[in-house]
Amino acid sequence: MFVQLNIGVLAVQGDFAEHSHVLRSVGVTATEVRLPKHLDGLDGLIIPGGESTTLSRLMSLYDLRDPVAELAARGQAVWGTCAGMIMLANEITEEDPVPMGLMDVGVQRNAFGRQVDSFEQNLLIQGLGDREYHAIFIRAPVITRVGDAVDVLASLPDGRPVAVQQGKMMATSFHPELTADARIHRYFVSLAGGPPFDPEAPLIDTPRVR
């Protein structure tokens, strides 16, 4: 159990409740972050999926951009999923929203089309063992460029990266908070200071939030 860790989940918009549920299910304290003061004392931060333009504007409205960037600059673990990945990127293919430029990747928003074009795909994710991960893509972005300091953790069958890591920062195109498989959350907890992730450990799925 990782009760000593306190992971924040940006809670201004998007799937923050689902991420918090998974974190608590693996023994981590989950703190909902709505103001800069809520970042104090965190061991890591998740920026969840949602609507990236709205998320960007709310982060600016609540003065969260600079404090989140400072948290990452201090070497804290940060993970962006879907819209969160867009916010972490160094560049995107559209003019809006304005990303924070924390990870050396390029990202295309809504790369697969509209909501009706959402899909699911089994992926092998580097570091998570031999069991495939069932990933859910909803109006998902895709990574168009990967910098030299960035490791690709998973790609689609056509070769496009959908999960990357740069130091203690992670980004995923898909929504791990919507599955019962908590391995990616446990891997992120290890980046935030928990025990090393063991891909050989027994797999214990977490109940989905209701």
8 is in an annotated binding site: no
Q: Whose CA is closest to 173, among 77, 75, 83? A: 83
If one counts the domains in the chain, the total is 1
User: What's the CA gap between 37 and 64, in Å, rounded?
Assistant: 9
Residue 179 domain flag: yes
| Residues 39, 33 contacting (CB under 8 angstroms) | yes
Residue 196 domain flag: no
pTM for this predicted structure:
0.92
Residue 71 domain flag: yes
Residue 210 domain flag: no
CB half-sphere exposure, 82, CA atoms < 13 A: 26
User: What's the CA gap between 148 and 180, in Å, rounded?
Assistant: 33
Domain enclosing residue 33, as ranges: 6-191
User: What's the CA gap between 53 and 74, in Å, rounded?
Assistant: 26
41 is in an annotated binding site: no
51 is in an annotated binding site: yes
**Per residue in 15-62, pLDDT tens?**
999 999 999 999 999 999 999 999 999 999 999 999 999 999 999 999
- Assess whether pLDDT exceeds 50 at residue 180: yes
Residue 198 domain flag: no
The pLDDT of residue 112 is 78
136 is in an annotated binding site: no
Q: Which residues are annotated as catalytic?
A: 82, 175, 177
109 is in an annotated binding site: yes
One-letter amino acid of 11: A
Residue 207 domain flag: no
Q: For all residues of the chain together, what is the average pLDDT?
A: 91
The pLDDT of residue 210 is 46
Residue 205 domain flag: no
Instruction: Find the CATH number of the domain harbouring 17.
Output: 3.40.50.880
**Per residue in 91-141, pLDDT tens?**
998 878 989 999 999 999 877 766 656 899 999 999 999 999 999 999 899
pLDDT, mean of residues 159-179: 96
Pair of tokens at residue 93 = 């293919």
Q: Please provide the DSSP assignment of 28-84 as one string.
A: -EEEEE-SGGGGTT-SEEEE--S-HHHHHHHHHHTT-HHHHHHHHHTT-EEEEETHH
- Winning range, highest mean pLDDT, from 25-29, 77-81, 140-144: 77-81
Residue 133 domain flag: yes
- Assess whether pLDDT exceeds 50 at residue 14: yes
Label residue 1 by pLDDT band (50, 70, 90): very low
